[in-house]
């Protein structure tokens, strides 16, 4: 695997290192030792998939708070998404900064999302499927969300939002502590 740290410390792009021949290729998508070597949590407590019918479907912005804060490894296995993370760590020098990346079945790139980062995406194609490996189980009492258009996030979404859950659309804007 090829790990590239983003401008948000602790967040990484994880690309496959293909070993190919006339059959196709083989590549690792997860290795505990390699994740540990980069200072990342190799714990996988839960794996999930999300399927989306139409382009323009938005899911986000979600995170969990301690003691159930979770790291995520996100990969698009069918179609393409515009994946966005926002640093919510209050003492971070990159607090409230975001990065976005296209994850697709074609580029096979994954995004490692550290704990205390909000995460969301919009689908760029119909029939998308996303896989998640999480370091903590889903914990409804520790789940948090913020509106995808929160001014504090300043996210530029590349396509119009065609579908969004009632819960995500009704989420309050993210409030910066002390304001």
Coil/strand/helix, residue 65: coil
Handedness of CA 145, 151, 156, 160 (dihedral sign): positive
Identify whether 62 is a catalytic site residue: yes
Q: Which of 63, 119, 121, 132 is catalytic?
A: 132
Coil/strand/helix, residue 67: coil
Identify whether 174 is a catalytic site residue: no
Q: Which helix (H) or strand (E) holds 63?
A: strand 57-64
Q: Which of 62, 63, 119, 147 is catalytic?
A: 62
Q: For residue 112, what are the β-bridge partners?
A: 12, 73
Within 8 A by CB and 6+ apart from 107, the residues are: 15
Determine the Cα–Cα distance for residues 41 and 32; give it in Å rounded to an integer.
8
Determine how β-strand 128-134 pairs with β-strand 72-78.
antiparallel
Determine how β-strand 12-15 pairs with β-strand 2-5.
antiparallel
For 33, other C-beta atoms within 10 Å of its C-beta total: 7
**Active centre residues (catalytic):** 62, 132
């Amino acid at each position: 695997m090829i790990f590239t740290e983003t401008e948000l410390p602790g967040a990484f792009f994880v690309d496959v290192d293909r070993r190919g021949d006339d059959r196709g290729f083989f590549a690792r998508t997860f290795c505990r030792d390699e994740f540990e070597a980069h200072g990342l949590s190799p714990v996988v407590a839960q794996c999930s998939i999300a399927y989306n019918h139409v382009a323009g479907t938005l899911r986000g912005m979600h995170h969990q708070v301690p003691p159930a804060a979770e790291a995520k490894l996100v990969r698009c296995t069918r179609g393409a998404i515009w994946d966005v993370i926002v640093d919510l760590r209050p003492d971070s020098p990159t607090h409230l900064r975001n990065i976005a990346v296209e994850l697709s079945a074609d580029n096979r790139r994954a995004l490692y999302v550290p704990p205390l980062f909000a995460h969301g995406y919009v689908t760029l194609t119909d029939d998308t499927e996303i896989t998640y490996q999480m370091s903590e189980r889903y914990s409804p009492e520790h789940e948090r969300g913020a509106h995808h258009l929160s001014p504090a996030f300043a996210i530029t979404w590349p396509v119009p939002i065609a579908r969004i859950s009632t819960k995500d659309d009704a989420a309050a804007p993210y409030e910066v502590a002390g304001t």
